[in-house]
Amino acid sequence: RTGRRRDSCGGMRSGEETNLKGITPMTTAAITGVAARAVVTPMKRPLRNAFGIIDSGPLVLIDVTTDQGVTGHSYLFAYTRLALKPLVLLVEEIGRELTGKALVPFDLMKIMDARFRLLGWQGLVGMAVSGLDMAFWDALGQIAGKPVVELLGGAPRPIPAYDSYGVLDAKADERTLRTARDEHGFRAIKTKGGHGDLATDEAMIKGLRTLLGPDMALMLDFNQSLDPPEATRRITRLADYDLTWIEEPVPQENLSGHARVRERSEIPIQAGENWWFPRGFAEAIAAGASDFIMPDLMKVGGITGWLNVAGQADAASVPMSSHILPEASAHVLAVTPTAHWLEVLDFAGAILAEPLQVIDGKVTAKGPGLGLAWNESAVAKYQVT
Question: Phi and psi for 10 in degrees, rounded to 5?
Answer: 90, 0
3-state secondary structure at position 263: helix
CA 6 to centroid of chain Cα atoms: 49
Instruction: Please list the active-site residues.
Output: 192, 323
**Distances, alpha carbon 283 to alpha carbons 63, 126, 288, in Å:** 33, 17, 9
In one-letter notation, the amino acid at residue 268 is P
DSSP per-residue codes, 214-232? TTSEEEEE-TT-S-HHHHH
Residue 204: partners with Cβ closer than 8 Å, 6 or more residues away: 167, 168, 169, 170, 191, 193
Q: Which H or E run includes 282?
A: helix 277-286
Residue 14: partners with Cβ closer than 8 Å, 6 or more residues away: none
| Whether the Cβ atoms of residue 331 and residue 303 lie closer than 8 Å to each other | yes
Residue 213: partners with Cβ closer than 8 Å, 6 or more residues away: none
CA atoms of 4 and 72, how far apart (whole Å):
34
Q: Which of 215, 205, 302, 295 minimizes the C-alpha distance to 252?
A: 295
Question: Phi and psi for 329 in degrees, rounded to 5?
Answer: -60, -30
Assign 3-state DSSP to the chain and report helix, strand, coil percentages, each to 5: 40, 20, 40
CA atoms of 46 and 383, how far apart (whole Å):
20
Helices (H), 161-227: 174-182, 198-212
Helices 174-182 and 198-212 sit at what angle, rounded to 10 degrees?
40
